[in-house]
Amino acid sequence: MIERIKKAADIIKNAKRITVLTGAGISKASGIPTFRDKNGLWRKYSIEEFATPQAFKENPKKVWQWYNQRKKLIKQAKPNKAHYALAELEELFKDGFALITQNIDNLHRLASNRRIYELHGNIFQTKCLVCDKVYLDEDVYEDEQLPPACRYCKSKKTRPNVVWFGESLDTSMIKKAMGLAATCDVFISIGTSGAVMPVAKLPQIAQYMGRYVVEFNADYSTISMFADDVIIGKAEETLPLLVSLIKRGRG
């Protein structure tokens, strides 16, 4: 594993443009459950019951209760060493760095990353279905307050600003992500299973365009077949080592 990290560091240190894709695995060490591993959320809860437009239409309060509890859990979480390693990587590569994330937990921002593309939204944003406003909302509500009233028009027709199963990603956002995958020098995939389309296509695009693709994950995934190197281990251990070696090589 160490040799593969050294190889990746040697390639990355000479790159100009770095595109990173992160999934739930990077936040596991922060105490946020992943979705598809043996203890994942979708083994305990039903996607159809909590994370689809139909579920929200049938029982908006129940969906809000679930997301309200997730907000409470996530508010207690802190970025881990993997998040901070990516913040260091952005500092090294400046405008040549881009971070695409499937996560809605806001931890990349808390770690000081700035060039972030949140493909699946942000749990700390609320969208009003009446006035169409999207706004920051970090409050955790009592059950009788759900759904929370819009801060602008006071309507109770609000929803978490996240992408649910059965919904399409923002077209401009996914086009931007695909462009970043196609034009980078190095594509780094971290902690994602590669099970959700069209995000899973991003490493494929990078590979097709001849970019160096490296995967950091707790186990092999569907992305592994498109990677030049796969580094198995805990991201909070492997990523700080990677960044340390890159800094040493660039220094």
Q: What does the pLDDT look like over 106-144, one tens digit per residue?
A: 999 999 999 999 999 999 999 999 999 999 999 999 999
CATH of 1-32+80-120+169-251, one of 3.90.950.10, 3.30.70.141, 3.40.50.1220, 1.10.10.10: 3.40.50.1220
Write out the DSSP string of 171-233.
HHHHHHHHHHHHH-SEEEEES--S-STTTTHHHHHHHHTT-EEEEEESS--TTGGG-SEEEES
For the chain, the domains span 1-32+80-120+169-251, 33-76+121-162
- Is the model's pLDDT at 37 over the cut of 90? no
pLDDT digits (tens, 9 = 90+) for 53-95: 999 999 999 999 999 999 999 999 999 999 999 999 999 999 9
pLDDT digits (tens, 9 = 90+) for 139-187: 999 999 999 999 999 999 999 999 998 899 999 999 999 999 999 999 9
CATH of 33-76+121-162, one of 3.30.1330.10, 1.10.3720.10, 3.40.50.720, 3.30.1600.10: 3.30.1600.10
Question: Would residue 120 show up in a list of annotated catalytic residues for this protein?
Answer: yes
The active-site residue out of 108, 120, 127, 211 is 120
Give the pTM: 0.92
- Residue 139: partners with Cβ closer than 8 Å, 6 or more residues away: 148
What local confidence, expressed as pLDDT, does residue 196 receive? 84
